[in-house]
Amino acid sequence: MADKPATLGELKASGYQPEPVKVEIRRNLIRRLRSGKSGREPLFPGIKGYDESVIPQIVNALLSGQDIIFLGERGQAKSRLVRGLANLLDEWAPVLDGAEIPENPYQPVSPQGRALVAEHGDSAPIRWLGRDERYAEKLATPDITIADLIGEVDPIKVAEGRYLADEHTLHYGLVPRTYRGIFAINELPDLAERIQVGLLNLLEERDVQIRGHRVRLPLDVFIVATANPEDYTNRGRIITPLKDRYGAQIRTHYPASIGEEIEIMVQEAQAAAADASETAELPLHVAPFMAEIIAEITHAARRSPDVNQRSGVSVRASIANYETLTANAMRRALILGEPEVAPRISDLAYILPSFQGKLEVEAMEEGDEARVIGRIVQTAVKAVFERTFDGTDFEAVEEAFNEGYSFTAGTVVPTANYRRIVTDMPALTAHMEGESPGVHAAIVEFILEGLHLNKRLNKRAESDAAVYSA
């Protein structure tokens, strides 16, 4: 930071002119939009499926200078969208060094800031805040107080001899400390109503009042919030005047297509496993239909009458299930000494722990949750099988089983065992071209399970395996 002005006088000499935070965001957004698609960096890196729906609404709200509330069920990237807004702030912003809140050096609003400028004049020290330091968020809970968000009289300062009427007795909360930045409140309806009332002035008058003090802080803060639609619209847990103060109410949604779900799922799972260098000797080969099945499971859950749709089924369900699927395949490869990690249909039995915490099943009897999830998984496998092999003739495979052939598959069955059925049934080899041995095993299980779910093969469970027969 040596090349930047260090005092108020140097800042004035540089020609720097501060802007309201919404003007600053709007200016940077316009620059991004004008850069053209070829040279434009994404407004929200890592966010997929919102290019034609949510992001245009966000852009309109920012160009209009409106405060925003994001409405959506869990796992719809609301928090990531909010945090992404900080990328539209300037990289650095000057504030008075020594003031309790980030002060505009030209127009300090706190007693400490005014005293600094009065005492030092153009020699008042300046420090530079990075954009990350100008963003703050708070998860709304019923126990949050006005002191947390706005401020309170500091009893220690009173004990030191100051009068209650003295502005210097005030200790500022999160919102004043985000002055000239972005403040986000997650799950806004969970705030107690009396705290919601305290936010009204922030959104309309842009000032705060603390404990009856005649203190006016004209705060320049961009206020953003998130909420679940069920809490926001139906239960009356947000006061109407506060709802009316938000300029833009933007509805998020789950991925509209299986392809978008897969993109998000693979992106996030790869990010989580980026440091797993110890597994570099075991390459991961996920057959496209296995990733599609995981995404289809989540979409099937979102359509299921047995699942509480008001709560939603998060994209995190797809991510966690995908991670569990590949983890179980890795466990098999490590135990059996396999040269690759290749998930199979039989590995789907192990996603129960990662899935059941991501959805709320309507049925309450013990064991119903596992049965509901089992039906959802079968529905997804059947749907993907029919899309993948639409019109494919498996009569030769059925005929071999009708003549007494049987095959044992399972998560602990070595890949080498699957070579036998491929050798015995030449009709299967057409689907194996260019694939690794581990993926060959996955294809065999997929075809056999698909035929079983279409009532063309029988399946009998045996310990950790399944026997397919006529």
Choice between 14 and 179, residue whose per-residue pLDDT is larger: 14
pLDDT tens profile 71-88: 998 889 999 999 999 999
State how far the Cα of 367 lies from the Cα of 355, in Å rounded to an integer: 14
Question: The pTM is what?
Answer: 0.83
Whether pLDDT at 252 is above 90: yes
Confidence of residue 322 (pLDDT cuts 50, 70, 90): very high
Query: Of the ranges 151-160, 282-291, 356-365, 400-409, which one carries the lowest mean pLDDT score?
Result: 151-160
Confidence of residue 276 (pLDDT cuts 50, 70, 90): very low
Express as a percent the part of the chain with pLDDT over 70.
Answer: 87
Q: What is the mean pLDDT of residues 45-57?
A: 91
- Minimal CA–CA distance to 288: which of 115, 443, 126? 443
- Predicted local confidence at residue 38, as pLDDT: 56
Whether pLDDT at 330 is above 50: yes
Where in the chain are the domains? 8-251, 258-469
Choice between 83 and 392, residue whose per-residue pLDDT is larger: 83
Q: What is the mean pLDDT of residues 234-238?
A: 62
Express as a percent the part of the chain with pLDDT over 90.
Answer: 47
Contact 118, 176 (CB under 8 A): no
Q: What is the mean pLDDT of residues 32-44?
A: 75
Contact 313, 307 (CB under 8 A): yes
Whether pLDDT at 165 is above 70: no
Q: What is the mean pLDDT of residues 412-422?
A: 90
- Predicted local confidence at residue 277, as pLDDT: 43
Report domain 8-251's class.
alpha beta
Confidence of residue 382 (pLDDT cuts 50, 70, 90): very high
Whether pLDDT at 170 is above 90: no
- Predicted local confidence at residue 285, as pLDDT: 92
Whether pLDDT at 441 is above 60: yes
Whether pLDDT at 167 is above 50: yes
- Predicted local confidence at residue 423, as pLDDT: 85
Q: Is the dihedral of CA 415, 418, 423, 427 positive or negative?
A: negative
State how far the Cα of 326 lies from the Cα of 410, in Å rounded to an integer: 15
- Predicted local confidence at residue 217, as pLDDT: 65
Whether pLDDT at 68 is above 90: yes
Range among 32-41, 231-240, 304-313, 410-419 rated most confident: 410-419
Whether pLDDT at 268 is above 90: no
Choice between 25 and 279, residue whose per-residue pLDDT is larger: 25
Choice between 276 and 32, residue whose per-residue pLDDT is larger: 32
Q: What is the mean pLDDT of residues 104-112?
A: 86
Location of structure tokens 């220690």: 156
Looking at every residue in the chain, the average pLDDT score rounds to 85
Confidence of residue 36 (pLDDT cuts 50, 70, 90): low
Whether pLDDT at 452 is above 80: yes
pLDDT tens profile 175-215: 888 888 999 999 888 888 878 877 776 676 656 566 555 55
- Predicted local confidence at residue 177, as pLDDT: 86
State how far the Cα of 458 lies from the Cα of 449, in Å rounded to an integer: 9
As to burial, measured by CB atoms within 10 angstroms (0-12 exposed, 13-18 middle, 19+ buried), residue 333 is buried
State how far the Cα of 130 lies from the Cα of 92, in Å rounded to an integer: 5
Q: What is the mean pLDDT of residues 273-299?
A: 80
- Predicted local confidence at residue 191, as pLDDT: 83
As to burial, measured by CB atoms within 10 angstroms (0-12 exposed, 13-18 middle, 19+ buried), residue 262 is buried
Alpha-carbon distances of 379 from 255, 382, 383, 410, rounded to whole Å: 19, 5, 6, 19
